[in-house]
Amino acid sequence: MIRWVLIAPVICFLWGCMPIHAPDEDEKGSLSLSIDVSREISVTDARMLSAVFGKDEPDKIIYRLFTLNLPWTLGDTTRFDRITIAPPGDVSYSKKYFPTGKNDSLTIMIPDRNETPPDESSDFTLYLQGIRITGRSLIRSVFFVGGRGSFNIRPLRCTARYLLWDNNRNHPVHWGTIRTGARLFSTRCDWVDLLYEFCASLVKHTPFEKPQPYRSTSDLDSYEPRLKHCKLKW
């Protein structure tokens, strides 16, 4: 088992970023992570998803998007060597409150005291809850081209609550709220870019962050050729 030492708090842009336990630099070992994605998902406008994912229930689309793609995007942005999605099971959850400031706290549903983690073979479990895809009209125009028409520009933003739990110590080590930047989403690459930003935010300024930054899909040379670089699983 890897020994862990407490490091000092660091300031970061995540809401509720807390001190975490870091791996001992003198010891070597692999780190495994299990991801428990809650089905507590909301989308303000299903039309924001249809261009890429087709017509289906929005919560099912986002759940599938995260469970299929988080393992490899987290693998690119973190020091975890083995990343899996926790299998569904009959685990009882209860509300727990984690401080994010002097008078604020974050609510996370975690397994009851006598329950085992969804995948107890992993060193850590990432509880991901309250995923919300929002979008509001930035520009609305009415025009006449062979008749009357209109269009909306709706930047999207993804927010979620998270908790990283040390299964070996049976103790929380890191928690907070993620808010990705607002942008337009019209291709598969846009969603890959969002997932990378989401995953990088989870470990920003922590010992679990890989030293080399990820390469955003927006850095690729041109719009059309970059589509073949998108590894989005669906």
Domain ranges across the chain: 34-229
Q: What is the mean pLDDT of residues 210-227?
A: 52
Which carries the bigger pLDDT value, residue 230 or residue 15?
A: 230
Judge contact between 11 and 102, C-beta under 8 A: no
- Give the pLDDT of residue 45: 84
pLDDT in tens, 129-138: 999 999 865 6
- Strand 41-43 to strand 124-135: parallel, antiparallel, or no bridges (unpaired)? parallel
pLDDT in tens, 77-110: 999 999 999 987 778 999 999 999 888 999 999 9
Identify the three-state secondary structure at position 128: strand
Per-residue pLDDT band for 65 (boundaries 50, 70, 90) equals very high
Which carries the bigger pLDDT value, residue 4 or residue 110?
A: 110
- Give the pLDDT of residue 137: 57
Residue 172 has pLDDT above 50, yes or no: yes
- Give the pLDDT of residue 226: 42
Is pTM, for the whole model, over 0.85? no
Q: Which of 99, 178, 91, 82 is nearest to 131 (CA)?
A: 178
Encoding tokens for residue 204? 């920003």
- Give the pLDDT of residue 144: 54
Displacement of CA 110 from its chain's centroid (Å)? 17
Task: Please state, rounded to an integer, the average pLDDT across all residues of the chain.
Answer: 79
Per-residue pLDDT band for 11 (boundaries 50, 70, 90) equals very low
Judge contact between 76 and 40, C-beta under 8 A: no
d(CA 41, CA 103): 26
- Give the pLDDT of residue 149: 59
d(CA 87, CA 92): 14
Q: Which of 63-72, 180-189, 224-233 has the highest mean pLDDT?
A: 63-72
